[in-house]
A and B are shown apart, each in its own frame.
Chain A
Amino acid sequence: MHPLAVPLVAYQILAAILFTIGVVGVLVRRSALIIFMSIELMLNAVNLSLVAFSRLHGSMDGHIFVFFVMAVAAAEVAIGLAILVAIFRKKETANVDDVHLLKG
């Protein structure tokens, strides 16, 4: 047996806590940038969980998944920040409550 020195449950609980903090950030903050950072926090919590399980099963597929999550997160951040910059130029505010042009 090649057991983890720290039990897997500990990693799962940590990932759950980090994910929840990210969810709180997305739902409660009003600045678009902070919401973005909370999304990154959620992605990282998932990465932690993936790596922990990958270590448990001795399979590298978890690491590959994390690799792709990082690549997609990079792409998402690039596009998201570009959109944010475009909106900020028009409206001078990063507050998500103020961007309601499509509201009926």
Chain B
Amino acid sequence: MALELILFSFFALIAILCALGVVFHRNPVHCALLLVGVLLSLSGLFILLNAQFIAALQVIVYAGAIMVLFLFVLMLLNFRGESSVLSPGAAKGFGFLFSLLVMVELLWTALSPNGGEGGGMPPVAALPADFGSPAAIGRILYTTWLYPFEITSILLLVAVIGAVVLAKRKFA
């Protein structure tokens, strides 16, 4: 029990610090690396929540492929650091105000008696033995969720084609 609490606080703290770094840091490559830090700490939190397959997928897909793509684009296009990091004046104030509203709304829902526990539904009595394992995910992915799975594969194909076409140099 105590160990889980310590691990949760550790990962949560790292996630929040790295997230703040992503948003407020000047150098874009450092921001990308801090985002990788967020992803890895979230992966740790997923393991605390018995989601082993999702945790592994987070590292392999998100931190290991998507962020590498980000870094490639950053490095090849050599974005210079901007002179001023944040938007000027009024836009900045409005941005902070709006996000404050969003946070208040989310916390209100989280801390309300019904919203905090999934709309009043009681927690489950016992977890199935293979909860979060690849076998369980495979079982429902190919039966209940087959249709979205196939559509997602077509979506990824469209993304590949689109990325190649968009980034191609057009020879005059």
Contact = CB atoms under 8 A, between A and B. Distances in A.
Interface residues of A, number: 76
Given A67-B137, A75-B159, A28 B145 contact: no
Chain B contact residues (Cβ within 8 angstroms of A): what range? 35 or more
B172 interface: no
B86 A33 contact: no
Interface in A2-28: 2-6, 8-25, 27-28
A51 B32 contact: no
Chain A, interface SS category: helix
Contact of B160 (A53, A64, A72, A78): A78
Contact of A63 (B70, B132, B169): B132
B70 A81 contact: yes
B99 A23 contact: yes
A77 B66 contact: yes
Nearest to B65: A74
Chain B, interface SS category: helix
A27 B98 contact: yes
A71 to B, nearest CB: 5
B102 A23 contact: yes
Interface in B33-92: 35, 38-39, 42, 45-46, 48-51, 53-54, 57-58, 61-62, 65-66, 69-70, 73-74, 77, 79, 82, 84-87, 91-92
B148 A68 contact: yes
A99 interface: no
Interface string B108-127: 00110000111001011111
